[in-house]
Structure 1
Amino acid sequence: MAGCASPADARRPAAPPPSASAPPVSAPPASGAPADPTDAAWVQLMTPMNEQAVALLSLAAERSGDARVRSWAAGLRTSQNGELARLRPLLARMGLPDTNVHEGHDMPGMVTADDLARARAVRGAAFDRFLVAEIGDHLRQSAEVSRSETGAGTRQDAKRLAAALVSARRTELARLPDVSGGPG
């Protein structure tokens, strides 16, 4: 799940070494168990990815020039918020903070502050093209990251949610509006 690293990552304290007296774990972690690095990386990436996508999708109500795009964006925003309602409790169950550890990182599929500023600077068909392109990137990359979690993660609750997100992304990508031409 590489894709971003920053000097801030190096300043974060390392996880404490496992206790020598701890028994080996042979079963998948319980839902309240700490996250392994793959599970933690996935949920800590998916949460801000969805938050930023929601911020962009929210602009469609006022900036889009196409009723179809506004309707699509509203539905997808609801879906992304529903995923956030499942991701945030997963963060808590893993003992992870509900903070964006990827703040300021420019990485594939992440809607950035610059992207939001560009979206606020356009209206109509130009906004619609920008929105669909950015959200398409978000959906493709978040599906890829979630597929990685389903294969390499260890927590069953995280893997189930990741699999659900992969399935949702397939459906959502098929619903991307065509904004390549026509009125706008």
Structure 2
Amino acid sequence: MKAVRGTAATFLALLTVTGCSSTPSVDREPPAASTPVRPGATQPTSVPTLSGATDAAWVQLMTPMNEGAVELLTMAADRSTDPRLRSWAKDLADAHRAELGRMRALLKELGLPSTNVHEGHEMPGMVTPGDLTQARAAEGAAFEKVFVVQIREHLEQSAHVSRSEVDAGSEAAAKKLAAALVEAREGELDGLRRIAT
């Protein structure tokens, strides 16, 4: 299980500042190539705001987080021996697919690439290829234990990061989606607690 270090707000800020997400700024305009510069004149610079970069960092993180979770949830819906867990996983996979549709639309709206800029990274709450391999190798109760640990971490961390987007973001569409996701995660975690005590 991947350790969660620091607050979600700090985590998003680090993504923004370090460029971990390779996030192109939605606030930055490309310089005009043909604009002459007078000697001695200062060229105005356009610096991305932290909040605009936070919106981009959030959606570029949440998209692969949900993609990995959908794979794990689909596996649980097919393989769990507990009918309640199987049904819950199927419903949650459907909900995550719907969220992905909204996230991909937001990526396009913000002018961000649809590619996974976190490919190969092990981010807190992200279901990685290694996690999926571990889940595939387990069976029965052992599989369900692995699944519950991984999906709980995903739900908790995606809620934390989304709360930070609600607090620190600036794009109305991103903040609205993040708020909906926080509310959804609270119900999803309650459902998981009822099934996997």
Aligned residue identity for 2:185: R
> Match of 2:183?
167
Q: Which runs of 5+ in 2 are unaligned?
A: 1-8, 32-42
Which structure has the larger Rg over C-alpha atoms? 2
Equivalent-residue separation in structure 2 for 1:18 and 1:148 (angstroms): 28
Say whether the 8 Å CA contact 2:152–2:189 is kept in structure 1: yes
Aligned residue identity for 1:109: G
State yes or no: 1:156 paired with 2:156.
Answer: no
CA 1:58–1:152: 2 relative to 1, 3 Å: same
Equivalent-residue separation in structure 2 for 1:174 and 1:144 (angstroms): 15
> Match of 2:78?
62
1:75-123 CA distances to partner (integer Å, 9 max, x unpaired)? 0000100100100000000000111111111121000111000000011
Give the TM-score, by structure 1 length: 0.81
Aligned residue identity for 1:79: A
Once the two structures are superposed, the pairs formed by residues 1-184 of structure 1 within 5 Å of their partners are 1=9, 2=11, 9=19, 36-176=52-192, 177-179=194-196
In terms of fraction of residues, the more helix-rich structure is 2
Displacement after TM superposition at 1:178 (Å): 3.6
Equivalent-residue separation in structure 2 for 1:13 and 1:160 (angstroms): 20
Q: Aligned-pair RMSD on alpha carbons?
A: 2.8
Percent identity, aligned pairs only, is 53
Give the TM-score, by structure 2 length: 0.76
Q: Which runs of 5+ in 1 are unaligned?
A: 24-34
Displacement after TM superposition at 1:12 (Å): 5.1
Number of residue pairs matched by the alignment: 167
- Provide runs of 4+ in structure 1 moved above 2 Å: 1-5, 8-23, 177-180
